[in-house]
């Protein structure tokens, strides 16, 4: 008999149940772990995770479709189908044109990748039409079933700008509209000098202060990018001071003196009002004994 004996009537010892380890917790599902943190049922968390995955996949597919322009291609094909039903550009109606040529506008409106009405790029037509010098604003619209309407607001010429020995029509904003032949100059003010085209609005405001002088004006020179020299049809030049208000006051003063004493057409060469409260008259050389010009009058401004 071995040394290890079993007593009669005794029960074999039962093994104690294995204790739960942290490894079991680690092997638990993600939803179970979240259920211990978030006050939601495990089934609810599983459904939410399922829909989150679906949404992420859908978002990815949407981004890919946009990247490869799938919606645009589908829309384009739909537009082509609509065009085959009779909604195709057959006419272009141009409104508001008075001075500019119509053919360039027709060319832009008909230069389309597709003539199906839904696929005509009206924004691109508008941008290209507004690039023409005469066009201040353009509006493009579709008139179903087959007409494009291009409504144009033309720029209005306000002056003739002499620059680099060439003549150009310009509007109040200084935009160059077209070149003007010397033998076909319209009845508009002549302005001369670099940057004078950008001073048209200020020049018009200035001359409105002395309307009696406007019919007598032959041209105006923008000097040194700071002030005006006015040249009258009787041959005299009036030098105005710098600054819009200072020039306006001097011009009004000159107009009053001319109205009372008749300064223009009396043989003077130049009236200098550049210095406030001073009025200097330059007369022809042979008359210097009668009215000698002052030192300021003989200055040449660059």
* pLDDT (mean) for 269-273: 95
Tell me the angle at which helices 200-208 and 244-261 cross, rounded to the nearest 10 degrees: 40
Domains and CATH numbers, the chain: 83-154 (3.10.20.310), 159-287 (3.40.50.11690)
pTM to 2 decimals?
0.66
* pLDDT (mean) for 111-134: 90
Q: Would strands 190-192 and 237-239 be described as parallel, antiparallel, or unpaired?
A: unpaired
Q: How confident is the model at residue 182 (pLDDT cuts 50, 70, 90)?
A: confident
More confident position, 89 or 289: 89
Which one, of 192, 265, 244, 250, lies nearest residue 223 by Cα? Answer: 192
What pLDDT is attached to residue 292?
Answer: 39
Mean of pLDDT over the chain: 80
H or E element: which one contains 19?
Answer: none
* Rounded Cα gap, residues 93 and 148, in angstroms: 6
Task: Point out the least confidently predicted range of 124-133, 245-254, 276-285.
Answer: 276-285
- pLDDT higher than threshold 90 for residue 223: yes
Tell me the angle at which helices 122-130 and 103-110 cross, rounded to the nearest 10 degrees: 150
* Rounded Cα gap, residues 275 and 280, in angstroms: 9
* Rounded Cα gap, residues 102 and 274, in angstroms: 48
E strand intervals along 42-200 = 91-95, 135-143, 147-154, 159-163, 166-170, 176-179, 190-192
What pLDDT is attached to residue 276?
Answer: 84
């Amino acid at each position: 008999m071995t040394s290890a004996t079993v007593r009669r009537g005794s029960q074999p010892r039962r093994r104690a149940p294995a204790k739960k380890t942290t490894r079991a917790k680690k092997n638990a599902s993600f939803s179970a772990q979240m259920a211990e943190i978030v006050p939601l049922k495990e089934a609810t968390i599983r459904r939410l995770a399922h829909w989150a995955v679906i949404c992420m996949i859908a978002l990815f597919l949407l981004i890919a479709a946009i990247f490869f322009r799938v919606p645009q291609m589908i829309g384009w094909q739909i537009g082509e189908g609509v065009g085959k039903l009779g909604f195709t550009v057959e006419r272009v109606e141009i409104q508001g044109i008075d001075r500019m040529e119509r053919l360039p506008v027709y060319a832009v409106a008909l230069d389309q990748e597709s003539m199906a009405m839904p696929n005509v790029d009206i924004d691109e037509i508008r941008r290209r039409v507004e690039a023409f010098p005469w066009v201040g604003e353009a509006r493009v619209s579709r008139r179903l079933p087959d007409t494009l309407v291009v409504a144009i607001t033309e720029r209005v010429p306000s002056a003739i700008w002499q620059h680099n020995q060439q003549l150009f029509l310009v509007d109040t904003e200084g935009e160059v509209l077209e070149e003007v032949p010397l033998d076909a100059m319209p009845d508009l003010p002549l302005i001369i000098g670099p940057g004078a085209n950008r001073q048209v609005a200020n020049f018009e405001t200035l001359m409105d202060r002395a309307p009696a002088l406007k019919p007598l004006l032959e041209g105006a020179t923008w000097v040194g990018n700071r002030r005006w020299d006015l040249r009258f049809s009787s041959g005299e030049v009036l030098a105005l001071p710098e600054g819009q208000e200072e020039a306006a006051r001097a011009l009004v003063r000159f107009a009053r003196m001319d109205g009372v004493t008749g300064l223009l057409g009396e043989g003077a060469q130049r009236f200098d009002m550049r210095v406030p409260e001073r009025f200097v008259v330059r007369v022809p050389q042979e008359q210097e004994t009668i009215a000698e010009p002052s030192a300021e009058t003989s200055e040449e401004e660059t």
